[in-house]
Structure 1
């Protein structure tokens, strides 16, 4: 599994950093997670719009989904439109983005699959488990599993014991870290710090950690240092163009189960048209 960071800035993009956006590839399948503000130009540095096989969105804030609109425009209004793009999102999360154009304009450009955080489903080669994590709007923590690796992504969240289940023995935890040491009291239930991200990664037994959604202007070295106080394994800070191979840590069983039901799941054969 390969992760390419398109952006990792919280709230709004800067001159050098797009908002949240991640391209995850496995077995020739390209899954775009959270196409936030300014991520489409960064996507085009690595791929074409018609090479994206599916989109997965954690929640409906525009710094996580705004660039779904230009992505669908680029696909739907091209001379030779590709097949409708499967878009997975919590119920109602992308209503505002889809409403930017009249319904008929991009109707053929996407197929919307809405889910409740807590649902489990397959997207191409990825078994996808989700958790409802605390944020200002419903937010889905996401765990992607293949036989070779596990990637856990918090979306935007405040403190929650479910983060430990989400990140349990993950090969990479991609974690919200808006602040370094302390979240302002009014926002404390809904956002994390780099320090807390390090603590969760350590307690969950994650093999590596990537900090993302840093507040614009945050010193990435300071965020790294705060997380390293609790987590002794590799730590990265999400920056555009950063690529990492997410691989099963030595000694871990393939397709590790979260519970008895998950242990019964098998990875299906898939085709793009099956999504």
Structure 2
């Protein structure tokens, strides 16, 4: 759980840095679609710093997924929205009101309950078709991004964030489906390609989502996509369980953590001021 929470801090901070870079890249003009925006953002030092934090967070996420159930890791990563809001308040000059700070507390309470109730990761063998389903899901993320890119305003940011969350959710499940790190095994495992495609699509969609609108709105979709679906896969097909007699506490903690994250997104709609400095 400490690895999962460390990943949440890295991802939450990275989101704000990438949002600043995406907005600067958008102001630079040049047209183009999501891929062109991503290429311009890559020239911003803030985006590269965010990618470095994402890399550290990903390693911590893998360590967590190898030790605790997917639902626990997913809910912990939902706390990245609280980190995003706090960091955005400092760097993007977004003001958090009392309800938002209360939502941060709700997220923390849910994570505490989840940490107490979580058991070890499931040891059930995944069905053979699940790896191919993850590849199909990753391709679906790209299609969702194509639809979301045609929208405007908060709906655009929310849908693209949801697509990014689904992409990261594919990564969470794919990590559990990779049982050998030998190069030959990696190249023949469909889960490897699902991880690469899902992760790449998620980064591209999240960058596009952060181009306009509230950072927390985009991250709200991210939270939904990367928590609910992967948690269900872990419980139904991978054997994730809770400690004896604490299933109710895990379910309550998961619901409270995710609800708190979404509540924070609902009230995090104050327009961000332009950051000062280069």
Give the number of the structure whose residues are more often helix, by fraction.
2
TM-score range, shorter chain: under 0.3
Give the number of the structure whose residues are more often strand, by fraction.
1
Q: TM-score, normalised by structure 2?
A: 0.25
Higher relative contact order (CA 8 A, sep 6+): 2
